[in-house]
A and B are shown apart, each in its own frame.
Chain A
Amino acid sequence: MQKRKTVNMAKKKNTKQNLLVLARFLKGSRLLFAFSILAAMVTALADMVTPQIIRMAIDNALGGKEPVQPDYVLKLVDRLGGFAYLGKHLWIMALGIVIVAAVKALAQYLFRVFNTKAAETLVKTMRDSLFRHIQHLPFAWHGLNRTGDIIQRCTSDIDTMKNFVSEQLTQVFRIVILLVFSVIFMTGMNPLLTLIALIPMPFIIGYSLIFHRSIGRGFEKCDESEGILSAMVQENLTGVRVVRAFGRERYERDRFHEQNEEYTSLWVRLAKIMARYWSSADILSGLQVMLVVIFGAVFCIDGRMQSGEYVAFISYNAMLVWPIRMLGRMISEMSKAGVSLERVAYIMNAEEEAPSEKGLKPDLHADIVFDHVSFAYENSPEMLHDICFTLPAGHTLGIIGGTGSGKSTLMALLTKLYLLPEGSGRITIGGVNVKDIDTEYLRKNIGMVLQEPFLFSRSLKENIAITRPDMTLTEIREVSRAACLDDTIEGFSKGYDTFVGERGVTLSGGQKQRAAIARTLAQDARIMVFDDSLSAVDTETDAKIRASLKDHFGSASVILISHRITTLSQADEVLVLDKGRIAEKGAPEALKSAGGIYQRIYEIQSGLPQEGGAYAG
């Protein structure tokens, strides 16, 4: 019992948080939504007036019956010349209809525009805040969540929420307004007939609600089946080599046809249910209309109603039937939005990367010190043990280590992609703890080339100049030349305007690495990190790039992570990392004969293997 209570409370708290997220999204579009609802009210009101004009035309202006309208209407009529005059000059009443129609058309137009503006503003706010928020979430969060899932939350869930607010919610408002107005006007004319008209309504709403609830499951099944079918096509296409090589075209065809058939038959079954609902709902609403027509006629004969009133009443009734049928569907579809809100709020409620408290911006052309640094990822064994080293300003540090030795973790800690917890050592630059350095400032001043570089789907020019959009083409070409990329780019038909396909697919691995190097050079940072970033270029180019980089580094401190001894020999000092510990440390020349791991690697890389001899790996 107690437990259930806490669960309930947690749920409530969650719902509250989710609604807060929604409220935040709605900022900026609330007023627009209010306007659109106002416009909808005017539309509904205009709808109400037209039948009244017709009714007056029939009953009073032409029929000459005793007017029963409220005083203000009669006053208006008198000012226009009285009913008898209007009866002879029908164009005035026709003009009245046109004027009302114009008001309605304007209101309808404004409704559409306001509503779309509101909805689009909402969507923009949602997308922008999600995108911004995701950009500022800690890197650890990205590691824990799958890309596809996040994207789905950012796209289809957003759409569901938009539809909920801009269509379902406003529709429900409109329907309710229309309903209230109609009932008021109808009651004004004949309360008893109104009651008769309303009696079937709950049944129509209930029927529609029950139907849409139950059909929802059918739709889910169809969606699932479609998902399977779609995945089948996807697999067949990606696995086309396997299919052909095993000669299983027939099997694939049969399997696809079977699923295709099943999916189709699910829909056909649904079609039957839906068609049955539509037609039975037609009968139901048709009967309601008949009730009104017959009872209205009876009342007219009894003299309790005038024929113009009768015609107007039927008009109002016709306005009711369709929205009432929609209402059931709207209500049943609303539940979907709640689920989407929850999924979006999951992202919005994640903690952003905390800004550095002190936000210092010291000169980063300074000594980098790792002081007894140990680190473990969440729920994982320790990755780094007691790392100590100093990289004096302007010097080059080489790091060599196997996969999982912690090289990349070192760099992630330096750039604060992960934060070093209290009591696991300190990382300082010029004596200032990186914790206290402004994060953006820090990252802007550490140029990092990753092993698998990520290029943006923009032009090469924009990619290289991404940190400094004001760079001139001459400057861009200069850094490209230093990265041995200029010739390659000039060879492309569009040169520096060549568009990089999604994730850089149109470039080879080596070209991407060189583009990333050029990008980092353009950054002109105080500290440069090359994380195994020349692995995809051949030895010749590797040497060329290294030579030109040497000229380019200038006064920057450099960290070189590499497997190649030739690369590392440029360093002032080399660290050999082994399973998260520093195994060796020293000048590369000295390490060559220190009798450790480095010496063994050096020997391997400088001598040729024995023919057909023992081959490691």
Chain B
Amino acid sequence: MQDKTQKEAKSLPFFGIPKILPYIKGYKNMMFIMVATGLFGSTIDIILPIYQRYALNHFVGEGTLDTLPWFIVIYVASLVITAIANYINGYLAMKLEVSINRDLRAMAFDHLQTLSFSYYNQNSVGYIHSRVMSDTSRIGSLFSWSLAESIWQGTYLIGAIAVMLIVKPGLALLVMLVLPLIIFLFSLFQAKLIRLNRQIREINSRITGNFNEGITGARTIKTLAVEALIEKGFTDETANMRRTTVKAARYRGLFASTIGMASSLGLAIVLWRGGVLAAGDVGTFALFMSYAQGMMEPVRWIIDCISDFITTQVNIERLTRLLETQSDVTDTDEVIRIYGDAFDPIRENWEPIRGDIEFQDVSFRYPDGDEMVLEHFDLKIPFGSNIAIVGETGAGKSTLVNLICRFFEPTEGRVLIDGRDARERSQLWLHSALGYVLQTPHLFSGTVRENLLYGNPNATPEQIDKALKLVSADDVVAKLEKGLDTDVGEDGSLLSTGEKQLISFARAVLADPKILVLDEATSSVDTITEQKIQAAIDTIIQGRTSVMIAHRLSTVQNADCILVVRSGKIVEQGTHKELLALNGYYKELFTRQYEDEATASVLG
């Protein structure tokens, strides 16, 4: 994953804008209005100093207030018009920002629903999460605020120059001499600043990581008595942070001071070469003063916007790559035509599923691996039979399940469901007939009822009761304060692991799947709950094809077939009796576990 982030291109043609444009073209009109109001508002902004010039030259210079009412009317009118333009411009910029965010988020989210598991295996949840949530918002603000700002400031700059050129070309050109120098200096600082800011962000995330380590590793740090060393590492990091931030501040300070200096330089030029005006034409003099001082800020803003464009390239790159990632497991157009896709299934064309599974000469390699983990594997799992997969943690027991569920597809060979290649029907067709119980039960935040209905939204209250009773989860629900309407918390954190397990069993039963996959719990639950869970498993595998990933061998002795996995490969296969007689790896595993469990039971 780390390699991945490094591979990301640092610069794209035109800041990557062409890549993202297709996704936001629906906002052309809104952007147009935003730009137009920005142009309009900033034009009026340019005109404002002209009022002062008029006040000075006409009222003060000529000593009369004859046009005062008109002056007030026009001034207030301009104010109101600017305010309206500003209102529309500001409102649209914000709306544009959040709308683009919303659309990009939705697009990314929807796309993720169709990506295969290899994507999820190769990218951490945190990584994907920030693609959906933070990249999108950076891009959104680029196309609203940065765009609006650069238009506004750009117009002001051009307008101010234009007015000055019209009023007094010679002086205007002199004042403008300052500009190229400033732009050159700014762009020099800006490149350094972008680099420093990136460094600051990196150090910052390391500091957070250090806090995390210092807190979660507290016991180890204390028992090793290495507080001083760990602290040293931390203070080095914070010192580094201070150094880098102050360095960045120096550049930023130079930046700001240069701008201040430049506008004063402009002002000095006006006074030096234009001071003569003050005698007769104080108004024009004041006008030049305003522009000379006012035109440096826009330059800074424009450069800021450019650096936004530069830094957002990475976000554009990451997001578009996510959106362009193709799923490894896709349904053909033909299949989609008949069966529908993940969002819009055509259920009336779905054949009822029986639950026969067959591996035919299947070879398999994970998309990100180089080794074949299955080679020419054949296995028939007729409807109603019960398969167990055993082996140590991390030995690769999930591979077969991944193939059965079509989370992955065989590299060679076929997986048949009811005698036909799984690829001839849609993924959703298979998944709708599937029940899946995870070893770390995953509940969604919401009520118990909502979680139960997850697998079967149309279940009646009677069915819910029945399912709960079947897996002995009715006691759990009865104990809860609000029964079925109790909130389970984020990731079910308000329930105990055992309770979550039973609820997830009930959820699977409600879905009434033909094929049931059980990733057995190893989590420590008390003996009574464990017995309940075991009983629940025995009940729910009745009348279905079931595949169980087992950690405790005691639970699989009655399986029709046990597959023994070691280092990713199936090394032994048979019934419990056959495997024991083999006197091989299974027997070793079994003996060790037997000892451990028996010991634990004696110790209580």
Contacts and interface: CB of A to CB of B under 8 A. Distances in A.
A106 interface: yes
A104 B94 contact: no
Interface stretch (B7-15, B97-105, B363-371, B463-471): B97-105
Interface stretch (A238-246, A363-371, A552-560): A238-246
Given A101-B260, A275-B91, A233 B55 contact: no
A105 B72 contact: no
Given A94-B268, A261-B102, A417-B219, A271 B231 contact: no
Contacts of A95: 268
- Provide the main secondary structure of the chain B interface: helix
Contact of B254 (A53, A109, A117, A417): A109
A294 interface: yes
Given A104-B260, A271-B91, A457-B213, A94 B603 contact: no
Contact of B272 (A94, A264, A314): A94
A314 B271 contact: no
A253 interface: yes
A120 B94 contact: no
B278 interface: yes
Interface stretch (A121-129, A209-217, A486-494, A586-594): A121-129
Interface in A148-184: 150-151, 154-155
Contacts of A70: none
Interface in B166-211: 207-211
Question: Which of B51, B68, B94: most chain A Cβ within 10 A?
Answer: B94
A581 to B, nearest CB: 12
A113 interface: yes
Contacts of A415: 222-223
Interface string A458-489: 00000000110100000000000000000000
B229 interface: yes
A63 B279 contact: yes
A62 interface: yes
A602 to B, nearest CB: 10
A154 B260 contact: no
B241 interface: yes
Contact of A275 (B55, B94, B436, B591): B94
A466 B226 contact: yes
Given A63-B279, A405-B603, A454 B220 contact: yes
Interface in B36-78: 51-52, 55-56, 59-61, 63-65, 68, 71-72, 75-76
Given A245-B435, A264-B98, A605-B599, A104 B264 contact: yes
Contacts of A151: 208, 211-212, 215
A450 interface: yes
A256 B113 CA distance: 11
- Provide the main secondary structure of the chain A interface: helix
B252 A233 contact: no
B225 interface: yes
Contacts of A509: 393-394
A277 B592 CA distance: 73
Contacts of B133: 229-230, 233
B91 A272 contact: yes
Interface residues of A, number: 152
Nearest to A256: B109
B492 to A, nearest CB: 10
B537 interface: no
A268 to B, nearest CB: 5
Interface stretch (A11-19, A191-199, A329-337, A607-615): A607-615
Question: Which of B59, B235, B394: most chain A Cβ within 10 A?
Answer: B59
Contacts of B82: 279, 282, 286
Given A54-B289, A101-B261, A247 B65 contact: no
A135 B210 CA distance: 12
A43 B490 CA distance: 52
A616 B265 contact: no
Interface stretch (B316-324, B426-434, B478-486, B538-546): B426-434
B604 interface: yes
Question: Which of A61, A94, A121, A503: most chain B Cβ within 10 A?
Answer: A94
A389 interface: no
Contacts of B120: 237, 240
Contacts of B80: 283
Contacts of A446: 223
B224 A283 contact: no
Interface stretch (A354-362, A380-388, A396-404, A425-433): A396-404
A291 to B, nearest CB: 10
B211 A282 contact: no
Interface in A270-300: 270-272, 274-276, 278-280, 282-283, 286-287, 290, 293-294, 296-298, 300
Given A136-B227, A155-B211, A301-B63, A314 B252 contact: no
Contacts of A251: 454, 457
A307 B86 contact: no
B224 A466 contact: yes
A71 B222 CA distance: 72
A230 B445 CA distance: 12
Contacts of B249: 112-113, 115-117
Question: Which of A131, A235, A280, A402: most chain B Cβ within 10 A?
Answer: A131
A30 interface: no
B269 interface: yes
Interface stretch (B17-25, B124-132, B375-383, B415-423): B124-132
A297 B129 contact: no
Contacts of B594: 604, 608-609, 615
B219 A147 contact: no
A108 interface: yes
5 contacts: A58-B278, A240-B120, A241-B438, A246-B434, A456-B230
Given A98-B264, A134-B215, A260-B109, 4 more contacts: A113-B250, A120-B242, A147-B215, A456-B217
Pairs A-B, 8 closest by C-beta atoms: A101-B264, A245-B436, A112-B253, A402-B603, A116-B249, A271-B94, A94-B272, A247-B431
